[in-house]
Structure 1
Amino acid sequence: MRRYLAGRLGQAVAVLWAAYTISFLVLVWLPGDPVSAMAAGGLDQAAVDPAQLEALRREYGFDRPPLVQYLDYLGRAVRGDFGNSVATGRPVTSTLADALPYTLQLTAAALALAVLLGGALALYATYTPHRWLRQLLMSLPSLGVSLPTFWIGLMLVQLLSFRLRLLPAFGNEGAASLILPAVTLAIPTGAMVAQLLAKSLLTTLDEPYVETARAKGAGRIRVHLRHALRNAALPALTMVGILVGNLMAGSVVVETVFSRNGIGRETVGAVTVQDIPVVQGVVVFGALAYVLANLAVDLIYPLLDPRIVVTAAQPRSTG
Structure 2
Amino acid sequence: MNRYFYARIGQALLVLWAAFTVSFILLQVLPGDAVLIKFQNPDMGLSPAQITDMRAAYGADQSLWRQYLHTAGNVLHGNLGYSLQAGVPVTQLLADNFPSTLRLAAAGFLLALALAVSTAFIATLTRFRWLRSLLHTLPSLFISVPTFWLGIALIQLFSFRLKLIPVINPGEWQGLILPIITLAVPVSAPLAQILIRSIDDVLTLPFVAVARAKGGSRGGVLWRHVARNAVLPALTIAGLLLGELIAGALITETVFGLSGLGQLTQQAVNNQDVAVLQAIVLISSAAFVAINLAVDMIYPLLDPRLKITPGAMI
Q: Scaled by the length of structure 1, what TM-score is found?
A: 0.93
- Is 1:122 the equivalent of 2:94? no
Corresponding residue for residue 15 of structure 1: 15
1:203 to 1:267, Cα distance in 2 relative to 1, 3 A: same
Corresponding residue for residue 59 of structure 2: 61
**Aligned AA (2:132):** R
**Aligned AA (2:283):** F
**Aligned AA (1:241):** G
How many angstroms apart in 2 are the aligned matches of 1:197 and 1:312? 32
Select the residue among 282, 285, 296 that pairs with 2:283: 285
Alignment of 1:30-41 (within 5 A): 30-41=30-41
Unaligned runs of 5+ in 1: none
Identity %: 48
C-alpha displacement at 1:307, in angstroms? Answer: 2.8
**CA deviation digits over 1:278-297, x for unaligned, max 9?**
11111111111111111211
Corresponding residue for residue 244 of structure 1: 242
Corresponding residue for residue 266 of structure 1: 264
Tell me if structure 2 keeps the 8 A contact 1:171–1:258: no
Say how many residue pairs are matched: 314
Alignment of 1:189-208 (within 5 A): 189-208=187-206
Corresponding residue for residue 110 of structure 2: 112
Tell me if structure 2 keeps the 8 A contact 1:141–1:191: yes
1:64 to 1:145, Cα distance in 2 relative to 1, 3 A: same
1:170 to 1:81, Cα distance in 2 relative to 1, 3 A: farther
SS of 1:126's partner is helix
1:23 to 1:170, Cα distance in 2 relative to 1, 3 A: farther
**Aligned AA (2:210):** T
How many angstroms apart in 2 are the aligned matches of 1:265 and 1:172? 18
Tell me if structure 2 keeps the 8 A contact 1:172–1:260: no
**Aligned AA (1:33):** D
How many angstroms apart in 2 are the aligned matches of 1:171 and 1:112? 25
**CA deviation digits over 1:68-110, x for unaligned, max 9?**
1011101110111111011111100000000011101100110
1:170 to 1:49, Cα distance in 2 relative to 1, 3 A: farther
The 4+ residue runs of structure 1 with deviation greater than 4 A are 170-173
How many angstroms apart in 1 are the aligned matches of 2:36 and 2:95? 27
**Aligned AA (1:137):** L
**CA deviation digits over 1:92-142, x for unaligned, max 9?**
000000001110110011001000011100111122122232121101001
1:206 to 1:160, Cα distance in 2 relative to 1, 3 A: same
C-alpha displacement at 1:170, in angstroms? Answer: 5.9
How many angstroms apart in 1 are the aligned matches of 2:81 and 2:47? 25
How many angstroms apart in 1 are the aligned matches of 2:307 and 2:8? 12
**CA deviation digits over 1:144-203, x for unaligned, max 9?**
011000000000001111122211336684110111100000000011211111111111
Tell me if structure 2 keeps the 8 A contact 1:170–1:177: no
C-alpha displacement at 1:40, in angstroms? Answer: 3.6
How many angstroms apart in 1 are the aligned matches of 2:168 and 2:286? 28
1:143 to 1:171, Cα distance in 2 relative to 1, 3 A: farther
Corresponding residue for residue 303 of structure 2: 305
Deviates more, 1:209-218 or 1:275-284: 209-218
Deviates more, 1:218-227 or 1:293-302: 293-302
- What's the Cα RMSD here? 1.9
SS of 1:238's partner is helix
1:171 to 1:122, Cα distance in 2 relative to 1, 3 A: farther
**CA deviation digits over 1:186-222, x for unaligned, max 9?**
0000112111111111111111111211122211001
**Aligned AA (2:65):** L
